[in-house]
Amino acid sequence: MKSFRFRLTVIMLIVIGVSVLAAGITMGQIFKNSNMKVLEENMGREIDLLRATFPFVNTDPLSSTDYISYYSEKAKEIARLTQSRVTFIRKDGTVVGDSLSDPRKMENHASREEIQQASTEGIGRTIRYSETLKRNMLYVAEPVVSDKGFDGYIRLSMNLKTVEEGIQRGWMAIGIGLVLLFLAAGLVSYRIARGLTSPIEHITGVANRISGLDYDARVGVQRRDEVGQLGEAINRMADSLQNQMKTIRDNEDLLQSVMSNMTGGILMIDAEERIALVNRESERMLGVAGKRVTDKPYHELKKHYELTKLIEGSIQSREKLHGEVHLYNPEERLVLLDGVPMYEDDGGYRGMLFLLQDITAIRRLESMRSEFVANVSHELKTPIAAVKGFAETLLGGGVKDEETSRSFLQIIYDESERLNRLIGDILELSQIESKRSSLDCSPIHVSSFIESLLEKLNNVAAKKRITLHMEIPDELYMEADEDKLQQIFLNLLSNGINYTLDGGKVKIKVVTVQRDHDTERVVFTVSDTGIGIPKKDLPRIFERFYRVDKGRSRNSGGTGLGLSIVKHLVDLHHGTLSVESELGIGTTFTIELPLLQQEE
Ligand code: ATP
Ligand code: MG
């Protein structure tokens, strides 16, 4: 656009320059011609005057020299008055008088242009370089015939120096004027060019900004002409672009947020077998950063060997896929993989779309459920078998001995008692798990509460010569569901007694701690000097029916439900539970509960 303005200015300048120059030349020429004309006319009039008034004398005979000095003398007089050179010439061309030179030394003038012209036209004029005077001279000659015996020509000549100087000055003035005119014209034409091009430049600038994604750019030209219409058209275009961009962005945002908030993983492989899209869930499952793998070949995912193989198969066949894969990232995940080929509206193949669903938790729950059913039936079968067996024996009447039948009945009683407890525990657990039980909180004086618990356990402990200790601040009160709290510590303490060899120690210690945000919490530690729990079993002891040593635990009457009930009850109280243990040295359970329960 700059160059357009530049070209426009240059063209205007050239046009103006040429016309100014032509005008100058014409003016100069006219000036010069009219000047010369005036000069010639003046000189002609002077000759006419001389012709009428000059006192001519006879120039014959040729030999006489008197008239030469007469004419020369007169020529000098006239020259002084007219400030021009005066020459008297005879018809045959002999010079008889001259105001500047000696006529006797001058050559014949018959062939001079002005003389020839004068003889034919009555007046002769010419501009010539004079050898005598060494400069440009204007010669004007006229024939003169006098009755006093002169027949020849009077010639006036004038030095053109002054005339030329005048003309030169004229030229100079014209030149300066022209230059000034040219400059002024240049300025004006630049302004005109700018006036024409600057709105276009502005519009171009706006269009460039719009194409550079600046959709807020608008043309500010307020004109009713074509340029103004162009500006308005650009503005309308920008408006509609802006609207369209907004719609596209909104759609994109919507799609983006749907994708990133989806609970399923999405993975798209395009027709060139490159990863076209990975959503947040897929990133999490596959352990990759979307930014890094997008546009890369899908082999980037080769660390998930099983997955890559399945993807490869379905890409090659371009057929639907439904399967399960294990992902290790690093923990194991079971993922349901669904793949569908994607086609464009015109039927062109676009790639494969995969949906990944983490079914690890579902599977674990399913297996836990079936395991639970199996466990329950197994646990129930043992006591029922015992009850049935002993009852059959007694019914068969084979036992006459009063004492034996008594001991059989005792066994039947014990086993049904155990069955009862088992069913109670299972019911309790399922109730807690289904969240049907809620807390019934009241203030509890911790030390007297624990003391009464220990009293209940004294008998059992005494049988194994196990000593029970407690270390609890006297004045400590807390808020909790008393029944449930009792269940928690009965379980922990009886475990401590059960899994500690005769003569050991079980201890419960309570302290309060200040956690962040002024929340006070009560920390219970139940420790024993018992047999301990192997490291590999520690993470599992809170599972239902999990027992470290099934045989021994059953002998001691355990079902493996105690700790899972404890875990649920602690959760219900918004507390935390942890365990540390060393084989043969002892086990410590730590429970942290809030001092006050939050209202729900
Ligand atoms: P119950 O349902 O009658 O309590 P249980 O005691 O076998 O049966 P849990 O209380 O859940 O079941 O305990 C799970 C297992 O954890 C036990 O079988 C035992 O192997 C182990 N365990 C629990 N507490 C201790 C402890 N203090 N010392 C050593 N092992 C323990
Ligand atoms: Mg127990």
Residue 132 DSSP code: T
For residue 560, the CA-to-ligand 1 centroid distance in Å is 6
Q: Which ligand is nearest to the CA of 500?
A: 1
Range list of β-strands (E), 431-504: 441-445, 467-471, 477-481
Ligand 1 centroid to Cα of residue 384, in Å, is 23
Q: What is the reported pLDDT for 555?
A: 54
Q: How far is the CA of 469 from the centre of ligand 1 (A)?
A: 20
CA distance 570 to 522: 12
Domains 2-167 and 262-358 share a fold: yes
Give yes or no for a contact between 349 and 341, defined as CB atoms under 8 angstroms apart: yes
307/323 Cα distance (integer angstroms): 10
- Residue of 460, 494, 547, 564 with the most ligand 1 atoms within 8 Å of its CB, for mutation: 547
Sign of the dihedral defined by the CA atoms of residues 565, 570, 571, 577, in that order: negative
Of 425, 423, 3, give the one whose Cα is nearest residue 197.
Answer: 3
Q: Whose CA is nearest to atom 17 of ligand 1?
A: 547
- Quote the ligand 2 centre to 559 CA distance (angstroms): 7
**Partner residues linked to 328 by β-bridges:** 332
Distance 532 CA to ligand 1 centre (A): 10
Whether 499 lines ligand 1, by a CB cut-off of 6 Å, is: yes
**Cα distance between residue 264 and residue 33, in whole Å:** 103
Residue whose Cα lies nearest atom 3 of ligand 1: it is 558
Note the pLDDT of residue 173. 84
- The tokens for 7 are 């070209």
Which of 498, 585, 590 to mutate for ligand 1's pocket (most ligand atoms within 8 Å of CB)?
498
What string of DSSP letters covers 510-538? EEEEE-STT-EEEEEEEEE-S----GGGG
Asked whether 131 and 108 are in contact (CB, 8 A), the reply is: no
Q: Decide whether any atom of ligand 1 lies within 6 Å of the 279 Cβ.
A: no
> Does the Cβ of 486 fall within 6 Å of ligand 1?
no
Residues of the chain with pLDDT under 50: 1, 553-554
Indicate whether residue 562 lines ligand 1 (CB < 6 A).
yes
Query: Residue 530: CB within 6 Å of ligand 1?
Result: yes
User: 365-377, pLDDT tens digit by residue?
Assistant: 888 888 888 888 8
- Out of 423, 563, 587, mutate this one to test ligand 1's pocket (max ligand atoms within 8 Å of CB): namely 563
The string of DSSP codes covering 182-234 is: HHHHHHHHHHHHHHHHHHHHHHHHHHHHHHTT-TT-------SSHHHHHHHHH
How far apart are alpha carbons 325 and 355 in whole angstroms? Answer: 12
This prediction's pTM: 0.48
For residue 426, which ligand has an atom nearest its CA? Answer: 1
What is the C-alpha separation between 153 and 114, in angstroms, rounded? 10
Tell whether domain 262-358 is in CATH 3.30.450.20.
yes
Ligand nearest to the backbone CA of 553: 1
Q: Where in the chain are the domains?
A: 2-167, 262-358, 363-432, 438-594
| Strand-pair partners of 445 | 477
561 Cβ closer than 6 Å to some ligand 1 atom: yes
Which amino acid residue places its CA nearest to atom 29 of ligand 1? 532
pLDDT given for residue 550 in this prediction: 67
In ligand 1, the atom with minimum distance to the C-alpha of 528 is: 27
Length of the chain: 600
Q: Which ligand ends up closest to the CA of 584?
A: 1
Longest dimension (CA), the chain: 213
The CATH architecture one would assign to domain 2-167 is 2-Layer Sandwich (3.30)
CA of 508 to the centre of ligand 1 (A): 17
Residues near 141 by beta carbon (within 8 Å), at least 6 away in sequence: 47, 89, 112, 114, 115, 117, 118, 123, 124, 125, 153, 154, 155, 156
- The ligand 1 atom nearest the CA atom of 526: 27
Rounding to the nearest 10 degrees, give the CA dihedral for residues 455, 457, 463, 464.
-120
- DSSP codes, 315-362: HHHT--EEEEEEEESSSEEEEEEEEEEEE-TTS-EEEEEEEEEE-HHH
Residue 586 Cβ contacting ligand 1 at under 6 Å: no
In terms of CATH architecture, what is 363-432? Orthogonal Bundle (1.10)
CATH code of domain 438-594? 3.30.565.10
Tell me what pLDDT residue 4 has: 77
Atom of ligand 1 nearest to the CA of 564: 11
Ligand 1, atom 12, lies closest to the CA of 560
> What is the end-to-end Cα distance of the chain in Å, rounded?
74
The alpha carbon of 562 and the centre of ligand 1 are apart by a number of angstroms equal to 7
- Let me know: does 96 contact 103? Beta carbons within 8 Å: yes
Distance 556 CA to ligand 2 centre (A): 9
